[in-house]
Structures are given as C-alpha cells and as structure tokens.
C-alpha cells in the first residue's frame, strides 16, 4: 500500500494532501475542556447553600466563563483592589509620592491587620500602607489610603474603566454606613475587568505596573504556619498570585490574577447568603482548583492535547 501511494502522479498526490484534514487542528478541542470546566462550576453552584457568582478569563485567548457574572455582590475586603489601583494611578499622575511617609491616625479601627497593634508614633510610606492593606488586609491602612486618594476618585476611576456597578461606598469597619445599606459592591465580571486592567498596566508606566502587581501579590496572612487562604490552597506555592479575598458574615469572595506560565488568567469568585461560611470557603477552594487544573493542562499541552513535562 505504501508503494502505491509513492507511485501516485504528483498532481493526484498534491490533491490528496490538500483534501486531507489539517494535522494541527489548532486548539479545536479547547472549547470541550471549557465546557467541562463550566459543568464543574455549575455543579458546585447547585450544591452550595447560598448564592454564587463566578467570572474566569483566560488572558491569553480571551475565553471566559461566567456564572451570574453581571449580578452585584458584597465585596468585603476585595474592594481594596480598587483602592490600590487608584493609589498607583495617582502616583503615575504625580499626585502622590509612594515613598512619602505618613503617620496613620489614632484611634485605629480593628477587624484585621497590623496597625491596630502598633503605637501612635509609627510612620509608614504610602506603599507600606498598600502592602499592609493587601497582605494583611489591614483596615486602618485601607482607611488611611481612602482618605488620601478620595472615595469619589476611586469611584470615578472605576466608572472610567466602564465598571458601572462596582463602587466603594464606605470605609472599612463603618458599621453605621453598612446599616444604612452603603455596602461596597461589585459584580464578578467587573472585578475581573479591574484585575485585567492591573494585568495590562492600564494607565501605568512599566515600572509601576510591575510594582502594583508585586504589592497585590504580597504573601497573605495565611502564609507561614497557618494554612493558605481558600483560593490559594490548590495552587502551587511557586506560582505568582495577585489576589484579594474578603469575608463578612454570610459572605466569602476573592478576586485574583494567576500568573500561570503560558496561560495567565483572572478569576473572581463571590458568594453571599451563605448558610455557613465554611461552605463558601470550600466553594472558592474547589472552583480555584478546577480552574487551575484546566488552564494548567491547556498551558502545557500541544494543539492536539499532548502534554510533555517532567511531572
């Protein structure tokens, strides 16, 4: 049979090759993996005794999955990403010097962080406060930054990015404002879009774009002897993850950039009306693991799905 093929006239051989299916079939099977990922997320959604919102975007191809991506959710501390972005945009515009020192006022709000444990004489740079805000979710550091950059400026910046729902409506630990209904809110899709702006360094110089990611990727308070936060738990320790989780009673959420080689992605997972907070944390952990599993395989695979690695 092989001899018969080699003896074909050149014209017929060329015709046969032209009509043969393309060997590469570039990435034609990827949508099937995305469908399976969506199914895994939807199964977790059905089993959650609460309300779930998810937005995932492959930053290489633009492929997305959303579950209630356009619905507003309470953000808890995840809104601190918006404060961070505004801080760096104002630094880029020359309105603030990140290396300038300030003395956070006393008394200081609690609810998490480091400053509540320190004396009134401590001085920190604006960048130091951003590190405390992102790494230790320090509420006093956040409020000091909000006072500096301005709540209205944060919301104007969000609107300029096309985010019509995501808003900073109150400072941290302002229970009076919360009782009025002035909750910090976002949709999963809009928080993902904010993280994508950070990923792209939108409005920032190259150096500041790298630095804002470095601050957002500060190892969280869960590092060390205590377990990692739910989103990071399924991820390799060596992976760069710029994220901010949030928690309130009945609410667990996170927004993140995951710098997976060859397949970086943005993911926002939000829950509310939780019967138990542990269920929300488990949902975040399981969805994070499912997304990583899918994107990791896609990143290491050929166009036909062959994975070659040392693992």
Tell me the C-alpha distance between 173 and 77, whole Å: 10
22 has pLDDT over 60: no
Residue 257's DSSP bridge partners are: 242, 266
- Spans of all domains in the chain: 27-300
Report, as an integer, the average pLDDT of 261-270. 96
What does the radius of gyration of the chain's CA atoms come to, in whole angstroms?
23
pLDDT at 14: 47
Q: What is the tens place of the pLDDT at every residue in 194-217? A: 999 999 999 999 999 999 999 999
Q: What is the tens place of the pLDDT at every residue in 62-94? A: 999 999 999 999 999 999 999 999 999 999 999
Tell me the C-alpha distance between 153 and 64, whole Å: 30
CATH architecture of the domain 27-300 equals: 3-Layer(aba) Sandwich (3.40)
Nearest-5° Cα angle at 109, 108 to 112: 120
């Amino acid at each position: 049979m092989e001899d018969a093929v080699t003896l074909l006239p050149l014209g017929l051989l060329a015709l046969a090759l032209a009509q043969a299916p393309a060997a590469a079939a570039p990435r034609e099977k990827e949508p099937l993996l995305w469908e399976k990922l969506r199914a895994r997320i939807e199964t977790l959604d059905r089993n959650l005794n609460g309300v779930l919102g998810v937005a995932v975007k492959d930053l290489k191809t633009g492929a997305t999955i959303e579950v209630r991506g356009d619905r507003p959710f309470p953000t808890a501390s995840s809104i601190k990403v918006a404060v961070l972005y505004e801080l760096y945009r104002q630094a880029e515009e020359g309105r603030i010097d990140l290396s300038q020192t300030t003395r956070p006022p006393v008394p200081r709000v609690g609810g998490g962080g480091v400053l509540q444990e320190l004396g009134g004489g401590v001085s920190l740079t604006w960048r130091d406060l951003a590190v405390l805000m992102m790494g230790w979710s320090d509420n006093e550091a956040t409020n000091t930054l909000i006072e500096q950059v301005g709540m209205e400026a944060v919301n104007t910046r969000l609107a300029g990015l096309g985010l019509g729902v995501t808003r900073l409506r109150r400072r941290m630990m302002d229970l009076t404002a919360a009782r009025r209904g002035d909750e910090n809110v976002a949709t999963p899709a809009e928080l993902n879009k904010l993280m994508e702006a950070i990923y792209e360094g939108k409005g920032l110089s190259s150096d500041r774009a790298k630095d804002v990611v470095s601050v957002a990727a500060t190892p969280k308070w869960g590092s060390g002897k205590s377990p990692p936060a739910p989103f990071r738990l399924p991820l390799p320790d060596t992976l760069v993850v710029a994220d901010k989780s949030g928690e309130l009673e009945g609410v667990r959420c996170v927004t993140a950039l995951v710098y997976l080689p060859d397949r970086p992605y943005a993911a926002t997972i939000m829950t509310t009306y939780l019967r138990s907070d542990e269920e929300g944390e488990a949902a975040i952990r399981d969805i994070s693991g499912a997304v990583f599993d899918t994107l990791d395989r896609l990143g290491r695979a050929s166009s036909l799905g062959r994975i070659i690695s040392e693992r």
